[in-house]
Chains A and B, each alone.
Chain A
Amino acid sequence: MLRVDVTKQLGEFSLEAKFESQGRVTGLFGASGAGKTSLINMIAGLLRPDRGVIALDDETLDDTSAGVHVPPHRRRIGYVFQDARLFPHLNVRQNLDYGRQMNRVTADPAQFSRITDLLDIGSLLDRRPGRLSGGERQRVALGRALLSKPRLLLLDEPLGSLDEGRKEEILPYLVRLRDEGIPMVYVSHDAAELRQLATQIVMLKRGRVTALGGVKVLT
């Protein structure tokens, strides 16, 4: 379960969000500038709230009144960025292996090949990110986040930088991912995308939560 109750002032923009989610895929819906990215950056620990609490399952990740702030690298929260952010100096295999090495976990070849099969990236392993298409890059970024064994996966408009054809290419993989059972927070400004993926919706407008509920609230 994810519990968020935070406020954050960013220049002129103020963000005040409170919601709880039991859903497997929480869809964070809103126009650009609504504060979606700031909100999941706070869940990831990349941004500190001015006031409030963020808790995942039984663990408090942020609690400003108690002075608690768990740094991003200890949260075990995976993050798939809109622009993939693959490490340019590492090949695909090293990118995929990065999280495991940072956490000093022993290699799990079965899990590695299961994920690369799931995302159809097994043939790209020796390539550098510069030699991948946009869709391939996004699939590798998904694999990289998954292989760090997160307990929550954040996806910030993972289809946002792709054209229509590429979106159709990635969407089935995201559906497969959802059925893997890892809880996800999925950020999008595209209602159609969320209808296909999300099980619960948090609607954000100019820094405020305006609606909560099932995918029905998207109409």
Chain B
Amino acid sequence: MLDISPAEWTAILLSLRVAVIATLVATPFGIALAWLLARREFWGKPVVDALVHLPLVLPPVVTGYLLLLTFGRRGLVGAWLADNLGIVFAFRWTGAALACGVMSFPLLVRPIRLSIEAIDRRLEQASSTLGAAPWQVFATVTLPLALPGVLAGMVLGFAKAIGEFGATITFVSNIPGETQTISSAIYSLIQTPDGDAAAMRLVVVSTVISMGALIASEWFARRATRRLHGN
């Protein structure tokens, strides 16, 4: 039915790898930030809040360019990471994952934050009177009760990451086999004569992946909600 070429497979698998890694690496940071924004008052909180949401409102090409300036070979952070830890983002698939992680971060954080804000703090108080230290309260009450939000955030973030285009192509270009994701492959194919059929195949694949992610998130959320209602 879908006669997918090896080159197209490469783009599909790369997209999946980039989106999965971006989501998995971003999630712990997302949970930590969501918790801080939901539960702590600190100096500069509005600024942190705005920074988290910035990729949502900035033109993606600006985010990509800022990433290039910061994490590129000669960027302040990029040069340090390359010299000291041997981690290179520029024109690598890891850079695509970084771009996708940054771009999807607001979508990851928001549902987690909302679900933490929705937790009855009195349950956390009950936990502490039973002898739970703050980290135990978080691990045994806050996090399990926020789980539907965490899963929803992960799926939304994944869906955003797999469709990311502007920041990725600006930061790490469009190199087949290294940084060419489904989106940038479609972009290339559309500009190639006779590329329509191949582009169409990738459109179908990306639609199926996104639909699958949404259905999975619904299923997880419903299961988790049932658990939380204590039945």
Q: Which residues of A contact B (CB under 8 A)?
A: 44-46, 71-79, 81, 83, 85-89, 98-99, 102-103, 128-131, 144-145, 148
Contacts and interface: CB of A to CB of B under 8 A. Distances in A.
Given A89-B144, A128-B231, A81 B122 contact: yes
A130 B129 contact: no
Nearest to B136: A102
B188 interface: no
Identify whether the interface residues of B are mostly helix, strand, loop, or mixed: helix
A148 B140 CA distance: 16
A74 B128 CA distance: 9
B141 interface: yes
A213 B81 CA distance: 71
B206 interface: no
B130 to A, nearest CB: 4
A98 B230 contact: no
B133 interface: yes
Interface string B32-63: 00000000000000000000000000000000
Given A85-B122, A85-B123, A102-B136, A73 B230 contact: no
B132 interface: yes
A102 B129 CA distance: 10
Contacts of A89: 144-145, 227-228, 230
Contact of B130 (A83, A88, A99, A131): A99
A89 B136 CA distance: 15
A153 to B, nearest CB: 10
Given A85-B123, A87-B141, A102-B140, A131 B231 contact: yes
A111 to B, nearest CB: 15
A81 B131 CA distance: 15
B148 to A, nearest CB: 11
B127 interface: yes
Interface in B122-154: 122-123, 125-134, 136, 140-141, 144-145
Given A85-B123, A89-B144, A89-B145, A102 B228 contact: no
Contacts of A78: 129-130
A46 B125 CA distance: 7
Given A44-B129, A98-B127, A99-B130, A88 B140 contact: no
Contacts of B129: 44-46, 72-73, 75, 77-79, 145
B223 to A, nearest CB: 12
A130 B227 CA distance: 10
Contacts of A129: 230
Given A46-B125, A72-B125, A85-B122, A145 B230 contact: no
24 contacts: A44-B129, A46-B129, A72-B125, A72-B128, A73-B128, A73-B134, A77-B129, A79-B129, A81-B122, A85-B122, A85-B125, A85-B126, A88-B123, A89-B144, A89-B227, A89-B228, A98-B127, A98-B140, A99-B130, A102-B136, A102-B140, A131-B230, A145-B130, A148-B131
B231 A130 contact: yes
B106 to A, nearest CB: 27
Interface string B101-138: 00000000000000000001011011111111110100
Contact of A87 (B123, B131, B133, B136): B123
Nearest to B128: A72
Contacts of A81: 122, 126
Contacts of B127: 87, 98, 102
Contacts of B231: 128, 130-131
A33 B229 CA distance: 31
B230 A46 contact: no
Given A88-B228, A130-B229, A130-B230, A102 B131 contact: yes
Given A75-B129, A85-B123, A89-B228, 9 more contacts: A72-B129, A76-B131, A81-B122, A83-B122, A87-B127, A88-B123, A89-B230, A99-B130, A102-B136
Contacts of B145: 88-89
